[in-house]
């Protein structure tokens, strides 16, 4: 076994009940920590569960690397704005790509140029 922890040689002397209790306690502490993060987010969002869920979903879409950019995108693109345009996938794409800064360049292809125009239009009225 190639595990190194300072107490590895003493670990076998600990009863299984104690090990189980320790693991249970670590699990509870982890859950409590995650609940506290959700509780703080809920307070920040005025106790709005839908917005809190939207922000946490975006946070998790970012995985470990892009967590912060996805959170910023969610916070700068209100859920109500997306809901207002839910019947138009094109407008939602324009909003998301525009808010993320992906439509700042000039494009040769028509689709991103159309998205850019739509984003400028939708942005005016939101």
From first to last of its 126 residues, the chain has per-residue pLDDT tens of: 566 778 778 878 889 999 899 999 999 999 999 999 999 999 999 999 999 999 999 999 999 899 999 999 999 999 999 999 999 999 999 999 999 999 999 999 999 999 999 999 999 987
Instruction: Provide the token pair at 60.
Output: 């998790």
First to last CA, the chain: 60
- The helix/strand/coil state of 9 is coil
Domain count along the chain: 2
What residue numbers bound the domain in which 118 lies? 77-126
19 shares its domain with 71:
yes
Cα 14 off chain centre by:
40
Q: Note whether residue 98 is domain-resident.
A: yes
Q: What is the pTM of this model?
A: 0.78
31 shares its domain with 81:
no
């Amino acid at each position: 076994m190639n595990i190194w922890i300072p107490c590895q040689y003493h670990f076998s002397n600990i009863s299984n009940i104690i090990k189980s209790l320790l693991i249970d306690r670590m699990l509870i502490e982890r859950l409590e920590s995650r609940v506290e993060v959700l509780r703080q987010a809920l307070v920040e969002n005025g106790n709005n569960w839908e917005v809190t869920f939207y922000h946490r979903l975006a946070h998790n879409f970012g995985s470990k690397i892009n967590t912060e950019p996805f959170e910023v995108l969610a916070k700068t693109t209100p859920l109500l704005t997306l809901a207002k345009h839910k019947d138009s996938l094109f407008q939602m794409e324009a909003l998301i790509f525009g808010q993320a800064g992906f439509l700042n360049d000039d494009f040769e292809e028509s689709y991103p140029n159309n998205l850019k125009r739509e984003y400028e239009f939708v942005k005016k009225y939101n």
